[in-house]
């Protein structure tokens, strides 16, 4: 430990004031220039903020896209001239072009799943919390961490640039099934836009791997003294398992994309066979489109848990802290997350029951898929039990965490229908699926993101967010998301197909037009709520109330750092850890929390309570943490 600390002290320039400006004290950040502090930063906290802001900006685009196609779905026959003025040839006469409609849903899916809920959620909070909560000065490799962000940034740039190519962005659905995605003749969205999609995704995979390896290494190697694996906060367990899933599954998407690129550009036939399209017979023979689906979903399904697990980890933390109760069944929570992580790799083909795959495989995958409901159920029950007989504080983060549990239950349970191969025959590719994954993956994960932002905002920016605006944001979002996605179950049960530009062509689908309008208005209502969030978020960065040291009275280590921690997080030694992170309302204690870094003998006990006898092992005397900006002086002194 000491070795690592020393290495960090001597190895990284970012910790040091190279100028040697030791003589006098000033409040400025003096050890970084603008570029190394805000742009090519290797500080995990800054990288986390970069991920967060990029994620939020991507989210604005992704949600705006859904605003466009929701308009089309609610008013399939109405022309909106303003669409032509913003979209030009993609909305001739104010009606969306059907191919561009598909591009919109494709980009909405891609942006939300990968940029917002993977990078924006896992990228932000893994980066921010892993070193702070395990007690490390930074990630194992700050440089790789920086690369991770910049590859992600490059990915977003390439992806968004595809809106400006002549044939428009990718349009084959976020699952980019070939042959549709492989053949530019098949639709405009399969031209240049698709190439850019693949390039962007390759950058994204690189980013994910660089980040993932870093997270795993940091959790395994850089935990502070006393922080054994069974003392890790559940958030860290979630990020850790997520990172493992990322490292194991994303390379397969890379392989899939590589082969797709060969098919697209070099005339190979991995996925293509016997095709006659646009008046032309193609030479491809012997490939299988189903092969791509196997490769894609080998990532695609774990991806669902890559999105969901961090949200569950964050909510575990937030719910426990604000119920003032230990999370119920800590070990069961870890066990179920491990179970989910393992099972997530062997359920992928439940997306493919009716794609012509051998029906026997369907049986196997149905088995594993339904088993995954068991650890999920454990988690839901444990959340509810944590609330039971708590002393619940409704911080904004807590509201979002409770909302998350509700979405997790309501959306997750329809997985029992869809994971059942026989029921999937009718339900596959209907709005039932849309409802399912938007609730369990989209809404739940988004709520995890919001809970995390509201909860750790004081640590990120040293300011508090406005709770009242937070409440309004929560209720608008919560109500709107239920109003948007719950009725989609009805449409699913009516057989309404997804990816449909309009439902007017089919008698059995056309009865839902008024419901579509309701959904669209609910969605717009929710979008207005997001404006409140944006105002609250960016406004509070500048004008928020100054945050206290430990605003939520939490046990975890991040609240032992100064209010605006510098690079290196702790001034002086990293605190050692003496207990698990969930000792809330422990009988006998005066306070209703017991921070991880305070040894038993230093806690304040109620009168007449016999405190546990100190365990006779040697541990370093805990240091008093000064509430000032961290300065390299202190560290240098210590070194000396």
User: Under rule CB under 8 A, which residues in 423-452 are in contact with another protein?
Assistant: 423, 425-430
Tokens 């000064």, located at residue = 626
Q: Binding segment for another protein among 248-256, 580-588, 599-607, 610-618 (CB under 8 A)?
A: 580-588
Sort 622 into a burial class: Cβ within 10 Å, 0-12 / 13-18 / 19+.
middle
- Whichever of 304 and 399 has its CB closer to another protein, that residue is 399
Q: Are the C-beta atoms of 349 and 361 separated by less than 8 Å?
A: yes
Closest by Cα among 216, 296, 307, 286 to 249: 296
Q: Which of 23, 88, 279, 608 binds another protein (CB under 8 A)?
A: 279
Q: Least CB distance from residue 223 to another protein, whole Å?
A: 21
- Whichever of 179 and 442 has its CB closer to another protein, that residue is 179
Give me the 40-79 binding string for another protein, x by CB under 8 A, dash otherwise: ----------------------------------------
Q: Least CB distance from residue 142 to another protein, whole Å?
A: 36
Give DSSP secondary structure letters for 27-56: SS--S--HIIIIIS---HHHHHHHHHHHHH
Residues 6-45 that bind another protein (CB under 8 A): none
Q: Binding segment for another protein among 119-127, 152-160, 497-505, 551-559 (CB under 8 A)?
A: 497-505
Cβ neighbours around 286 below 10 Å, total: 9
- Whichever of 428 and 459 has its CB closer to another protein, that residue is 428
Residues 374-393 that bind another protein (CB under 8 A): 374, 377-378, 380-385, 387-393
Q: Least CB distance from residue 589 to another protein, whole Å?
A: 9
Q: Are the C-beta atoms of 532 and 469 separated by less than 8 Å?
A: yes
Q: Which of 85, 221, 228, 358 binds another protein (CB under 8 A)?
A: 358
- Whichever of 153 and 262 has its CB closer to another protein, that residue is 262
Query: Does position 553 bind another protein by CB under 8 A?
Result: no
Tokens 């329809």, located at residue = 414
Residues 271, 260: Cα–Cα separation, whole Å: 7
Q: Binding segment for another protein among 139-147, 252-260, 582-590, 624-632 (CB under 8 A)?
A: 582-590
Q: Which of 193, 326, 562, 595 binds another protein (CB under 8 A)?
A: 326
Query: Does position 531 bind another protein by CB under 8 A?
Result: no
- Whichever of 289 and 630 has its CB closer to another protein, that residue is 289
Q: Least CB distance from residue 291 to another protein, whole Å?
A: 9
| Element containing residue 276 per DSSP (H, E) | strand 276-277
Q: Least CB distance from residue 372 to another protein, whole Å?
A: 9
Residue 12 is given by DSSP the state -
- Whichever of 132 and 589 has its CB closer to another protein, that residue is 589
Residues 593-622 that bind another protein (CB under 8 A): none
Q: Do the strands 545-546 and 276-277 form a parallel or antiparallel pair, or are they unpaired?
A: unpaired
Give DSSP secondary structure letters for 441-492: IIIHHHHHHHHHHHHHHHHHHSEEPPHHHHHHHHHHHHHHHHHHHSHHHHHH
Q: Residues touching another protein: how many (CB under 8 A)?
A: 120
Closest by Cα among 124, 13, 175, 99 to 537: 124
Residues 338-357 that bind another protein (CB under 8 A): 354-356
Q: Least CB distance from residue 606 to another protein, whole Å?
A: 11
Residues 532-551 that bind another protein (CB under 8 A): none
- Whichever of 189 and 442 has its CB closer to another protein, that residue is 189
Six token digits for residue 592: 């209703």
- Whichever of 20 and 279 has its CB closer to another protein, that residue is 279
Sort 347 into a burial class: Cβ within 10 Å, 0-12 / 13-18 / 19+.
buried
Residues 498-527 that bind another protein (CB under 8 A): 498-503, 505-508, 511-512, 515
Residue 136, beta-bridge partner list: none
How many degrees, rounded to 5, is the angle at CA 142 between CA 141 and CA 144? 70
Q: Binding segment for another protein among 119-127, 215-223, 456-464, 471-479 (CB under 8 A)?
A: 471-479
Give me the 186-205 binding string for another protein, x by CB under 8 A, dash otherwise: xx------------------
**Three-state DSSP string of 86-138:** HHHHHCHHHCCCHHHHHHHHHHHHHHHHHHHHHHHHHHHHHHHHHHHHHCCCC
């Amino acid at each position: 430990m000491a070795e690592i600390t020393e290495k960090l002290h001597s190895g990284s320039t970012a910790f040091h004031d190279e100028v040697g400006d030791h003589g006098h004290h000033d409040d400025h950040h003096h050890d970084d220039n603008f570029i190394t502090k805000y742009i090519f930063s290797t500080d995990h906290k800054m990288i986390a903020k970069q991920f967060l802001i990029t994620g939020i900006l991507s989210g604005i685009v992704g949600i705006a896209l859904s605003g466009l196609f929701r308009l089309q779905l609610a008013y399939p026959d109405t022309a909106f001239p303003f669409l032509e003025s913003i979209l030009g040839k993609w909305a001739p006469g104010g009606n969306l072009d059907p191919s561009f409609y598909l591009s919109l849903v494709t980009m909405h899916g891609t942006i939300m799943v990968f940029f917002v809920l993977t990078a924006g959620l896992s990228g932000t909070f893994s980066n921010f919390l892993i070193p702070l909560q395990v007690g490390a000065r930074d990630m194992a490799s700050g440089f790789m961490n920086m690369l991770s962000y910049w590859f992600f940034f490059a990915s977003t740039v390439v992806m968004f640039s595809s809106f400006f190519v002549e044939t428009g962005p990718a349009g084959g659905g976020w699952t980019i099934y070939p042959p549709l995605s492989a053949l530019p003749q098949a639709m405009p969205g399969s031209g240049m836009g698709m190439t850019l999609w693949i390039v962007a995704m390759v950058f994204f995979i690189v980013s994910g791997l660089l980040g993932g390896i870093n997270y795993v290494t940091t959790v395994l190697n850089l935990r502070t003294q006393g922080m054994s694996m069974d003392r890790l906060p559940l958030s860290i367990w979630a990020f850790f398992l997520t990172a493992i899933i990322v490292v194991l599954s994303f390379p397969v998407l890379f392989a899939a994309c590589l082969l797709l690129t060969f098919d697209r550009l070099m005339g190979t036939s991995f996925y293509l066979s016997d095709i006659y399209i646009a008046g032309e017979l193609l030479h491809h023979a012997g490939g299988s489109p189903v092969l791509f689906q196997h490769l894609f979903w080998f990532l695609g399904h774990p991806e669902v848990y890559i999105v969901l697990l961090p949200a569950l980890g964050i909510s575990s933390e937030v719910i426990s802290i604000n119920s003032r109760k230990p999370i119920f069944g800590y070990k069961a929570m870890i066990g179920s997350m491990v179970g989910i992580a393992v099972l997530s790799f062997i359920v992928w083909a439940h997306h493919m029951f009716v794609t012509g795959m051998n029906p026997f495989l369907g049986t196997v995958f149905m088995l594993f898929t339904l088993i995954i409901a068991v650890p999920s159920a454990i988690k839901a029950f444990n959340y509810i039990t944590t609330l039971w007989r708590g002393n619940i504080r409704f911080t904004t983060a807590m509201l979002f965490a409770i909302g998350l549990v509700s979405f997790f239950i309501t959306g997750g349970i329809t997985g029992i229908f869809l994971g059942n191969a026989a029921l999937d025959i009718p339900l596959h590719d209907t709005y039932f699926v849309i409802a399912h994954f938007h609730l369990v993956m989209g809404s739940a994960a988004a709520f995890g993101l919001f809970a995390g932002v509201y909860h750790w905002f004081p640590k990120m920016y040293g300011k508090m967010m406005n709770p009242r605006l937070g409440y309004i944001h929560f209720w608008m979002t919560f109500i709107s998301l239920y109003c948007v996605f719950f009725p989609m179950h009805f449409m699913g049960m009516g057989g309404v197909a997804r990816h449909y530009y309009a439902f007017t062509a089919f008698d059995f689908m056309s009865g839902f037009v008024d419901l579509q309008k309701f959904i669209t208005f609910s969605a717009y209502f929710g979008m207005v709520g997001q404006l409140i969030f944006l105002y609250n978020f960016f406004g509070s960065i500048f004008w928020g109330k100054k945050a206290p040291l430990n605003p939520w009275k939490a046990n975890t280590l991040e609240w032992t750092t100064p209010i605006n921690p510098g690079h290196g997080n702790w001034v002086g030694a990293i605190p050692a850890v003496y207990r698990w992170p969930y000792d809330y309302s422990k009988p006998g204690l005066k306070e209703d929390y017991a921070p991880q870094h305070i040894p038993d003998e230093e806690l304040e006990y109620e009168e007449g309570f016999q405190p546990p006898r100190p365990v006779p092992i040697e541990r370093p005397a805990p240091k008093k943490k000064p509430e000032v900006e961290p300065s390299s002086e202190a560290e240098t002194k210590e070194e000396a």
